[in-house]
């Protein structure tokens, strides 16, 4: 259901690995059609959906099928493959502590299947920290190390947004995490590992706080040479992390990527990532950046789209120097 665009999509699910992929087709659309809910009634087999919200006219619609094909209820039988079974086994450790959890989950921290991988790290995070902290800090496999350290940052550090605002920062642990992340060789990581490394830095910076000057220099020395990367997903995380660290070269590289980005979604991510950057700007780069907002005024999105673009522009203007 898409309230902003007034659409109901039919989503066709296809088994893929331990989970599914899907394709969508537009089933019903209208302008306006602010869809709020829908059901398939078990008695008559018809679809019922409602519209309304934000002071617009409410309504209830009934959709029926006219044709010769059967409308009998289909009994779905899940096709559970070996990867799905593995994911299910790992998910049994979610929300509970078990003596077998760490040994069962740890080898899958770098599993190529995304859902198995995250089932594994979630299982680890639900175990007592004391039982796996040292293992995470001493892991030799680079892809498993960054995943374990990401989990460590989530569990061990303060998180004011999720009910742990007064947890004191363990400065010794923070220094160890930054040090172990900095030792990871970029080329030893697969694509996912590179994303996890940068994300681990982001979570560490937010929850442990900024490291000392020496550690910052190590992070920059590790990440700056990788920007730009060959794929958008890596560039997105690298751009916002290096901008946070106020690395001067981020301005020129980020603006170049903004100019050549193929989609408005990619452009918006670069514009958003650069908005707090204060270092490395020239008059030409800043002019190019601000002119992008004029271009973006013609882009289209959901109901709040233009407001989000304005929020980005407002932060960008606020970061301008007095000169």
pLDDT single digits (tens) 163-209: 666 667 889 999 999 999 999 999 999 999 999 999 999 999 998 98
Residues contacting 319, CB < 8 A, separation 6+: 275, 276, 277, 278
Average pLDDT on 222-238 reads 98
**Which helix (H) or strand (E) covers residue 10, if one does?**
strand 7-16
Residues 18 and 55 in one domain: yes
Residue 225 belongs to a domain: no
Residues 24 and 49 in one domain: yes
Per-residue model confidence as pLDDT tens digits over 75-128: 878 778 999 999 999 999 999 999 999 999 999 999 999 999 999 999 999 999
Residue 213 belongs to a domain: no
Residue 266 belongs to a domain: no
Q: Model-level pTM?
A: 0.87
Cα-Cα-Cα-Cα dihedral of 268, 270, 272, 275, to 10°? -140
Domain interval for residue 40? 7-63
Given a contact cutoff of 8 angstroms between Cβ atoms, the answer to whether 104 and 123 are in contact is yes
Residue 40 belongs to a domain: yes
Residue 291 belongs to a domain: no
Residue 122 belongs to a domain: yes
Residue 87 belongs to a domain: yes
Tally of structural domains, the chain? 2
Q: Lowest-pLDDT range, 62-66, 98-102, 303-307, 314-318?
A: 303-307
Given a contact cutoff of 8 angstroms between Cβ atoms, the answer to whether 146 and 201 are in contact is no
A 10 A CB-CB count for 263 gives 9
Please indicate whether residue 78 or residue 249 has the higher confidence score (pLDDT).
249
Q: Which two tokens stand for residue 269?
A: 């991510």
Task: Choose the final residue of a domain: 63, 92, 111.
Answer: 63
Residue 313 belongs to a domain: no
Confidence bin at 16 (pLDDT 50/70/90): very high
Q: How far apart are CA 60 and CA 299, in angstroms?
A: 32
């Amino acid at each position: 259901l898409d309230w902003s665009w007034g659409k109901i999509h039919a989503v066709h699910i296809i088994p893929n690995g331990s989970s599914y992929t899907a394709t969508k087709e537009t089933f019903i659309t209208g302008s306006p059609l602010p869809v709020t809910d829908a059901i398939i009634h078990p008695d008559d087999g018809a679809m019922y959906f409602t519209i309304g919200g934000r002071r617009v006219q409410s309504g209830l619609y009934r959709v029926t099928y006219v044709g010769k094909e059967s409308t009998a209820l289909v009994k779905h039988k899940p096709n559970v493959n070996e990867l799905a079974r593995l994911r299910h086994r790992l998910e049994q450790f979610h929300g509970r502590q078990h003596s077998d959890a760490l040994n069962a989950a740890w080898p899958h921290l770098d599993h190529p299947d995304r859902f198995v991988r995250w089932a594994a790290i979630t299982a680890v995070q639900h175990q007592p920290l004391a039982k796996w902290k040292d293992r995470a800090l001493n892991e030799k496999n680079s892809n498993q190390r960054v995943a374990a350290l990401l989990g460590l940052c989530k569990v061990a550090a303060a998180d004011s947004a999720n009910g742990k605002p007064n947890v004191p920062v363990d400065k010794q642990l923070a220094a160890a995490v930054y040090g172990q992340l900095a030792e990871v060789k970029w080329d030893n990581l697969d694509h996912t590992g590179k994303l996890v490394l940068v994300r681990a830095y982001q979570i560490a910076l937010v929850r442990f706080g900024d490291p000392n000057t020496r550690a910052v220099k190590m992070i920059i020395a590790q990440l700056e040479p990788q920007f730009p990367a060959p794929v958008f997903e890596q560039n997105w995380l690298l751009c916002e992390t290096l901008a946070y660290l106020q690395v001067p070269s981020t301005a020129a590289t980020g603006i170049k990527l903004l100019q050549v980005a193929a989609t408005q979604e990619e452009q918006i991510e670069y514009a958003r990532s650069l908005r707090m950057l204060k270092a490395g700007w020239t008059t030409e780069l800043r002019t190019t950046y601000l002119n992008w907002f004029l271009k973006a005024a013609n882009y289209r999105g959901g109901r709040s789209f233009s407001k989000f673009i304005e929020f980005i522009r407002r932060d960008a203007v606020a970061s301008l120097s007095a000169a």
